[in-house]
Amino acid sequence: MCLAIPVQVVKLLPGENAVVDAAGVQKEISLALVQDVAVGDYVILHVGYALQKLDEDEARRTLELFAQMGQTAPGEAAPTVAGATIP
Amino acid sequence: MKYIDEFRDGKLARGLAQAIRAEAKPERRYNFMEFCGGHTHAISRYGIEGLLPPNLLMIHGPGCPVCVLPIGRVDSAIDLALHRDVTLCTYGDVMRVPASGQMSLMKAKARGADVRMVYSTLDALRIARDEPGREVVFFAIGFETTTPPTAVAIKQAHAQGLANFSVFCNHVLTPAAIANILESPEVRKLGTVPLDGFVGPAHVSTVIGSQPYEFFAEEYQKPVVIAGFEPLDVMQAILMLVRQVNEGRAEVENEFSRAVTPEGNEKAKALVAEVFELRRSFEWRGLGEVPYSALRIKEAYRAFDAEIRFDLGYHAVADAKGCECGAILRGVKRPEDCKLFGTVCTPENPIGSCMVSSEGACAAHYTYGRFDDRAARKAG
């Protein structure tokens, strides 16, 4: 039910609507719940509405953290990663 | 950045799994509840449980809106569709929820009721506009993710003077359910499991933000890590929970920072506050009556409230005999503990609500997890 997918905005339409691209499938959605969305932005699409904009810098930081935190070999002590507590 | 494949990388997953196994202390147990059905589905689909050490247990919580919807509310919707000559629109997941007398909205449709599956509240509005001679009711269910779209529909119906449109509101609130699991005497009496921490909702949190969870962390001393729905997100959250437990911390941490802020979506929250208000109490399947855990339509928009328009009362109905959905939703039992699981109760023919939606604990285990059970039995 709370299933939602990241989609890219390809065109803004009048009346708080937009066309988005979901892995090659284009669909018209509502932007009534979000602010300041531009063409090229990724949004989380849920039941026809964009719920939130995705933050690319934060996404990259999270991916880097996966790599850092996963570097512990079995039996080794946990690495102390600076900034491990994501704000 | 496509925000999907990057978060399903197998090599990174192996690294995280190793880190979890290395850091989980063998001398203690770790019981974590993932509240959301979305996480339950991810854990089953990607076989995450198989990567965890034996002393770390993931307990599937009640965050599947279809699963916690009590039979009485589905009965009301079926009554509307069958006997009140309305066009009843709802999300696909709701269609197969078992109700009283072996009925469901799908079966009501087969008997000639005008039930329509919609993808969005905007589709329900369009049906009301296209068919002004029909009463169109949107059967609204779901947590904080699906509530704002319902608010938009009610506001648009109001603005467009769509007098033949109304909403049967069953929206429920995540924080109230978590508090209930942690403190309710009724739930205690029915039995709960000791919990060491929560994997917090992904998309619900994009709307309500991370702040509402601060209370649980502080008041109940339970760590909460908000996580995305991709497998690496879930594993990272589990690792962060293990670290909090090991270090004796109980904080709210946000792994899903690419979409969740402390405040959440202010625009969506304002819309919800304008259209809805708290119900004094609402029945949840598995949890019973939970105070201030659901929303109803405010006075200013009561013209669009189907409960008032059609004078819908509420009658509580007991679950099907033998069905363990209630205990499964509280984390006391697991799907494989239910006698009906996989025998008479399957996703094609669900007896209990947890078998309906792919996010339900039983449906997720039936689709992905039960093969592990078989392998384990063979090996044993």
Per-residue three-class SS string for B192-252 = CCCCCEEEECCHHHHHHCCHHHHHHHHHCCCCEEECCCCHHHHHHHHHHHHHHHHCCCCCE
> CB–CB of A2 and B142 under 8 A?
yes
Q: What is the pLDDT of residues B32-67, one digit of tens each?
A: 999 999 999 999 999 999 999 999 999 988 888 988
The CATH number of the domain where B200 resides is what? Answer: 3.40.50.11750
In a domain, A85, yes or no: no
> CB–CB of A33 and B267 under 8 A?
yes
> CB–CB of A69 and B6 under 8 A?
no
Q: What is the pLDDT of residues B112-165, one digit of tens each?
A: 999 999 999 999 999 999 999 999 999 999 999 999 999 999 999 999 999 999
Residue A81 has a CB neighbour count (10 Å cut-off) of 12
> CB–CB of A54 and B12 under 8 A?
no
**B306 three-class SS:** helix
B160 plus B102 within the same structural domain: yes
In a domain, A57, yes or no: yes
Q: How many domains does chain A contain in total?
A: 1
**A1 at interface of B, judged by CB pairs closer than 8 A:** yes
User: Domain residues for A18?
Assistant: 5-69
Q: pLDDT at position B180, please?
A: 86
- Give CA angle at B315 (B312, B320), nearest 5°: 130
B229 plus B345 within the same structural domain: no
> CB–CB of A2 and B243 under 8 A?
no
The CATH number of the domain where A20 resides is what? Answer: 2.30.30.140
**B128 three-class SS:** helix
**Residue A72 pLDDT class (50, 70, 90 cuts):** low
Determine phi and psi for B283, rounding to 5 degrees.
-85, 135
User: B134 near B83, Cβ under 8 Å?
Assistant: no
User: Domain residues for B283?
Assistant: 67-172+264-309
Taking residues A12-31, report their average pLDDT: 95
Pairwise pLDDT comparison (B285 vs B206), residue with the higher score: B206
> CB–CB of A2 and B271 under 8 A?
no
Q: Extract the tokens encoding A55.
A: 């933050």
pTM of the model: 0.91
In a domain, B208, yes or no: yes
Interface of A with B in 9-48 (CB under 8 A): 23, 30, 32-35, 42, 44, 46-48
Please report residues of B whose CB lies closer than 8 A to that of A78.
19, 22-23, 243
Which residue from B255, B194, B246, B197 is spatially nearest to B221, judged by alpha carbons? B197
**Which residues is A17 bridged to in the sheet?**
A13, A30
CB pairs under 8 A between A and B: 165
C-alpha–C-alpha distance, residues B109 and B88, integer Å: 10
In a domain, A15, yes or no: yes
For chain B, give the mean pLDDT.
Answer: 93
> What single DSSP character describes residue B50?
G
B151 plus B71 within the same structural domain: yes
Q: How many domains does chain B contain in total?
A: 3
- Indicate whether B372 pLDDT > 80: no
